[in-house]
Structure 1
Amino acid sequence: MKNDDVNIVSEEILSDNWYTLRKYTFDYRKADGSWERQAREAYDRGNGAAILLYNSEKKTVILTRQFRIPTYTNGNETGMLIEACAGLLDRDNPEECIRRETEEETGYRLTSVKKIFEAYMSPGSVTEILHYFVAEYSDDMKISQGGGHEDEQEHIEVLELPFSQAVNMVSNGEIRDAKTIMLIQYAQINHLLDR
């Protein structure tokens, strides 16, 4: 549905190197009815999916650890970040994407996944919508070591952690990735590992 209070005047591509950075100039009608010209940049990297793998019998979760240059340049001394498995949709639908990413990153082939919600992650500057999933895993679902694709320069460490430890890692700042925090809190609120 089109918003009649917004009129895009121009769109300029500032960068199309890794993903696409655009500058939008637009008119916005304020609450008093007057129009105001604004300019904003929006980074389009596509949409993605993220998943929390949990084992209710062992009370564990599967997370990953990898180097993230944006965090390294913004105060994360090692650049390493603990995260839930995630990836860009590319041309897949969200469920196909998260099944593919889970297998590539963690080595687990899932039998079923459950979509729980979707969210804009940084709506002031990034267009991405992230689709969130949870899935139970078991040891017999492990078909490879995971670690990501070498040709994508992924060097992913797979972590199996007690859920209580993951919760504590959020509290003490060891886990600082928003999607991972949201999934861990979802698991807490919905008592996924209390069953």
Structure 2
Amino acid sequence: MSTHPVGNTANPAHTGHAAPGTPGIDVPDRRGRTGLDTHGRGLTGNPDVRITDVEVLACDWYVLRKTTFDHRRRDGSWSRQQRETYDRGDGATILLYDAQRATVLLTRQFRLPAYVNEHPTGMLLETAGGLLDGNSPEEAIRREAAEETGHEVGEAEPVFVVYMSPGSVTERVHFFAAPYAASSATSSGGGVADEGEDIEVLELPFAKALSMIRTGEIADAKTIMLLQWAALEGPFAPRPGGDVRGPSPRRSAP
């Protein structure tokens, strides 16, 4: 990972960057938040890092900050550095699978950031997911699975918790897996239209989904991670007899 030092001699920290009446600082922003410039101040978990200043660059819906900090290098010297961090909250994602039929449920929707960064259409195949928005990870993934795929999730298996882009984005994503069946479908899914979502639900053979990673048809990181987990350790992992693991009692479909 590259660094962006702003000088090895510590200068007095910049303070007073927020004028009175600044949204997100001392008056509520559009989401009712204040004190957004305190994020990270007072952390003591790493004695080799001292945060000296936090500046809010934008707080429309999510929050973009510029943080200045002193970092003690391995040779004992200190350097002053700055980083911009994008805070959109934490998220959750889930792989819905049918081990008996060897299928998975994925979604397809338009992703502007991918489209403007050389994806030919911006239409990405993904596992269902979304932001926690104040819910617990399991509550959030039940909500997102129902909204996007139309399936009510039974017991969701935690898989792992991952920082997806730790160089610039604060988000942690909670990964889950759960079975689905015809009986768990309560709606057609498709997302929340009022939030601009227009989501297509696709059922794919698991082997086909894996092959789409190799061809680049599936290019979403969280989806690749869950599919590979399913093949190596999850519901489609080989057993000693050569068969896939199949559903266990605690993974029974709702």
Same fold (TM over 0.5): yes
TM-score range, shorter chain: over 0.9
Counterpart Cα distance in 2 of 1:31 and 1:57: 53
Cα deviation code 1:46-73 (max 9, x no counterpart)? 0000000000111000000000000010
Q: Which has the larger radius of gyration?
A: 2
1:192 — aligned with what? 235
1:145 — aligned with what? 188
Distance 1:87 1:181, change over 3 A: same
Cα deviation code 1:74-124 (max 9, x no counterpart)? 001211000000110011000000000000000000121100110000000
2:101 — aligned with what? 58
Q: Which amino acid aligns with 2:189?
A: G
Q: How does 1:1-195 map to 2 (within 5 A)?
A: 2-193=45-236, 194=244, 195=246
Secondary structure, counterpart of 2:141 in structure 1: helix
Counterpart Cα distance in 1 of 2:124 and 2:51: 37
CA shift, 1:15, in A, is: 1.1
CA shift, 1:32, in A, is: 1.0
Per chain length, whose mean CA-contact separation is higher, i.e. which structure has more relative contact order (CA < 8 Å, sep 6+)? 1
Counterpart Cα distance in 1 of 2:234 and 2:55: 47
Gap runs ≥5 in structure 1: none
Aligned-pair identity in percent equals 55
Counterpart Cα distance in 2 of 1:155 and 1:15: 27
CA shift, 1:190, in A, is: 1.4
Counterpart Cα distance in 2 of 1:66 and 1:14: 29
**Structure 1 moving runs of 4+ over 4 Å:** none
Gap runs ≥5 in structure 2: 1-43, 237-243, 247-254
